[in-house]
A and B are shown apart, each in its own frame.
Chain A
Amino acid sequence: MREMMTTTTIDQSVRKGRWQYRVQWLFWGALVIGLYVWAGKGLQFSGVQASAADVSKSILHGILNPDWRYVYNGSGEDLTSEIIQTIAIAFLGTFISAFISIPFAFWAARTEKGKWHLRSTSGKFVLTLIRTFPEIVLAIMFIKSVGPGSYAGVLAVGVHSIGMLGKLFSEGIEEMDRGPEEALVSVGGNRTEVLCLATLPTLLPEFISYTLYRFEISVRSASILGMIGAGGIGTPLIFAIQTRSWSRVGIILIGIVVMVMGIDWLSGQLRKKLA
């Protein structure tokens, strides 16, 4: 009798569990389907222009027959010099902002216990603010103050990088090994000595690695900032798209792909060596 009761209760609870499981699935499924119906209804796909097929055909034709003469023609406005300019924008912006990010990182790092700390919380807030400010808006603001060209691009990439590098650096500081610092304090090192001989050397490989990673991202941003007038490969690209010279677009796309993949590979190799 007793045994039977236990089996029925187990059976009931299993059945109840299965039922709950099904309801849960139904709920989530209905929610997801509802979201998609809502999203699909809200978008207007009717705005597609009639020439879309022709345009994509000519784009494909242009990309398959790139304008190789544009690669280098000595005018200083060819693909090679634009690519070099793009890399220069990303390089300068990223590495300068890496130096500027270090004080920001120490500001934002939570080195003491406790969830809320005035210095660290305010630092984190400032970094979030910089990070969420769209890079394009930043570029436009700099174009308004220093004029169109690569200089505005450098400033936009640089300021935007501080937001991300500062965050990554501060997390590096929070998780660093405190051993070397304690060792220096125990032999009587003062604050400057601890910073120069223990803290910075411990953090340096990680900081360089993050900077290289950000450099990869910056190369991508630098190649699109030109579309709004901030120098680099984006400027000739947007002109080529607007004038519908697709073979020019093709060679620029190839150039960007080669540049981005080359930089990613180089930076990956360097980061592997540091790790």
Chain B
Amino acid sequence: MDSKTLTLPKRPFRQRFHVVGLTALLLLLIGLWGSAQITGVNVKMLVDNLNQFVVLLVEMSHPEWAYLSVIWPPIIETIQMAMIGTTIGTLFAIPMALIAAHNIVKNPFIRGCVRLFLDITRSLPDLLLAALFVAVFGIGATAGVVTLAIFSFGMISKLFYEAIETIDAGPFEALNATGANRVQMIAFAVVPQILPAFISYFLYTFEINVRASTVLGYLGAGGIGVYLQRSLSEFDYSDTAVIILATLVVVVAIDGLSTFVRERLA
């Protein structure tokens, strides 16, 4: 056989010298170096002071179990805050999701405005909202509930309108053909199709809110976070450990319960 036909195909310059990959790597390294300069990273200081960190961890490894009876009521309050907050957020999210879905509202301008509003809502971190609402409502569970309501409103609206957009258009068109009005179409064609997904997303958001609400109290928004802040500022790390462990148990239990219900729905 002629050896000429067996030569490998020539690779262009960009592929031969991995231009794209190497540029990306260079940019990453420059970014990391620049960030390290801005944030004042000092590895030596970390190594020198790491024993401080270890001391804290050691103190935390001796949980003060008697503290459990003190933190039980605020843990319950945290769960209640998450429940009420998620529900209020969901009630507001449902109409928003309907307006933002492209198969319900045909006007792209209205949809765009609603989606921009939802994007802005979602870009606000939960603790930031908590700090604002503590300033408005004062220290207590109300600030936490409002924070969680707004936080879950942004998240659920997005999950819901994406769920609405995936529905089968058949029943919708059938109702349209028989002369149903918009409300009837939503009630009999949209709702039955998306109810399982809605409940599932609601529970998922509830899980996230239970996690979030455990730290909201750190800024005064009620729940177990208030005690977390207190134990940390009083250097009672054995109490902190109890709080973290108790929160962990509650979060895992609620996750398990919610996953169980969601799997049965699916």
Give the B-binding residues of A (Cβ under 8 A).
35-36, 38-40, 42-45, 47-49, 52, 55-56, 59, 84-85, 87-89, 91-92, 95-96, 132-137, 140-142, 144-146, 149-151, 153-155, 220-221, 223-224, 227-228, 231, 234, 237-238, 241, 244, 249, 253, 256-257, 260-261, 264
Contact = CB atoms under 8 A, between A and B. Distances in A.
B128 A88 contact: no
Contact of B141 (A47, A91, A241): A47
Contact of B53 (A133, A134, A142): A142
Interface string B196-235: 0000000000000000001100110000000010001000
B63 interface: no
Nearest to A262: B123
Interface string B115-136: 0000110011111100110011
Nearest to B46: A146
Contact of A151 (B28, B42, B120, B251): B42
Contacts of A59: 132, 135-136
Nearest to A129: B248
A150 B45 CA distance: 14
Contact of A137 (B77, B139, B244): B244
B190 interface: no
A254 to B, nearest CB: 10
B248 A132 contact: yes
B136 A55 contact: yes
Contact of B219 (A55, A133, A223, A227): A227
Contacts of B187: none
B114 interface: no
Contacts of B157: none
Contact of B123 (A48, A89, A154, A256): A256
Interface stretch (B33-41, B64-72, B102-110): B33-41
